[in-house]
Amino acid sequence: MSRSTARRAFLGIGLALGVILLILAFKGVDPSALMAALTRTDPRFVALGLVTVGATIGAKALRWKLLFYPSHDNLRLRSLVSALLIGQTMNFLLPARLGELARAYLIGEAEGKHKLFAFGTIVVEKLLDGLMLLLLLAVLFLVMPLPDWLRVPGATTGLILASLLAAVLLLSGQRERILGALDRVCQHLPVLKQLGLRQRLGDLADSLNSLRATDVNIRLLLWSLAVWLLAGLTNYLTLLALQIEVPLLVASLFVLVVIHLGLVVPSSPARIGVFHYLCVLSLSVFGVEGSLALAYGFILHFIVVVPVIFVGIFCVWRENLSLYRVVTEVDRK
């Protein structure tokens, strides 16, 4: 199956899923109650939510910069923010999470970094986010009964994360042994040498340098905590904007966990339908009525997704790029 065919398949699945979940999100919703909830939304909290979204992006960029240790001081923050926003925009609009590959390509072009090295930093970033997700799950488990439909995705995420963590730590700690063994294998299998497998794995191992420095690890964990707390604060402010009477802190973190777990599957462009249903599903645990929960989904989507897409498209224009060109270049690498 070609890449274009695979993308069309992912897009088709995502569109179908988005339509189905949007229908489910609207099931039993009173349109007049939905409009009433939307019209009484407090714009002050929406504005503060937009600020926290910007702060979250800034924290992510600063964490990503640190992942390029020890040469991180030479990176321009503007390039990191631009690549991050374009990548997120591509993830929102295009299938198969092409945004992560695009980020690696864009920062490599802008800052002269090897593309595979840059991609390795994104792998570590996702690992850190996975650790924060499991930490939040553990906290929620202590303060509330988790619904059955959350347990399987949570356990699956934990298993995948444990496997990825073991692989990353093994490559980081046994770099020379692994590369030496690969050199010996390449002597017997020249095709692997022709593919540049040894060089690629070496570049990937180099991107794990940040994991070997204790002080850097602490800073990475603190930045990761800041990223997730800011994202939770956005959810918190949206609850306040709609005057939803729930345990605000717990509900904010619960919505955050459910959305991150739910958006792993193929999704519709801009996460329409999937995002809204996940919000309704999350707040139903706290007894929030469907119309109000769906209004929350619309407002949170407006705060979290829409601005990133607009600013990401602006960054594409500012860098004199096009999404098609970025996808084409990524395919060539």
Query: How many domains is the chain partitioned into structurally?
Result: 1
Tokens of 126: 């996702």
In a domain, 7, yes or no: no
State yes or no: cis peptide before 70, omega within 30 of 0: yes
> What range defines the domain where residue 240 resides?
12-332
In a domain? residue 218: yes
Give the whole-angstrom CA distance, residue 77 versus residue 181: 38
Confidence band, pLDDT 50/70/90 cuts, at residue 255: very high
Does residue 28 form part of some domain? Answer: yes
Share of the chain above pLDDT 90, in %: 44
pLDDT in tens, 235-251: 999 999 999 999 999 99
Query: How many other C-beta atoms are found inside a 10 Å radius of the C-beta of residue 318?
Result: 10
Instruction: For residues 133 and 136, give the distance between their C-alpha atoms in angstroms, rounded to a whole number.
Output: 5
12 pLDDT higher than 60: yes
Residue 312: inside a domain: yes
Tokens of 35: 């409009």
What's the full length of the chain, in residues? 333
**Degrees to nearest 5, angle at CA 96 with 90 and 99:** 30
For residue 109, how many other CB atoms are within 10 A of its CB?
17
Q: Does residue 241 sit within a domain?
A: yes
Q: What is the pTM of this model?
A: 0.88
pLDDT tens per residue across span 47-57: 999 999 999 99
Structure tokens at 210: 């940040």
pLDDT for the residue numbered 285? 94
Does residue 4 lie within any of the structural domains?
A: no
Query: Is residue 5 a part of any domain in this protein?
Result: no
Whether residue 1 is contained in a domain is answered as no
57-73 residue pLDDT tens: 999 999 999 998 888 87
| 3 state SS for the chain | CCHHHHHHHHHHHHHHHHHHHHHHHHCCCCHHHHHHHHHCCCHHHHHHHHHHHHHHHHHHHHHHHHCCCCCHHHCCHHHHHHHHHHHHHHHHHCCCCHHHHHHHHHHHHHHCCCHHHHHHHHHHHHHHHHHHHHHHHHHHHHHCCCCHHHHHHHHHHHHHHHHHHHHHHHHHHCHHHHHHHHHHHHHHCHHHHHCCHHHHHHHHHHCCHHHHCHHHHHHHHHHHHHHHHHHHHHHHHHHHHCCCCCCHHHHHHHHHHHHHHHCCCCCCHHHCCHHHHHHHHHHHCCCCCHHHHHHHHHHHHHHHCHHHHHHHHHHHHHCCCCHHHHHHHHHHC
> According to the model, what pLDDT value does residue 203 have?
66
Backbone angles phi, psi at 30, to 5 degrees: -85, 115
Digit-coded pLDDT (tens) for 166-214: 777 777 667 667 767 666 766 666 665 655 666 666 666 666 777 777 7
Q: What mean pLDDT, rounded, does the chain reach?
A: 85
Is the pLDDT assigned to residue 2 strictly greater than 60? no
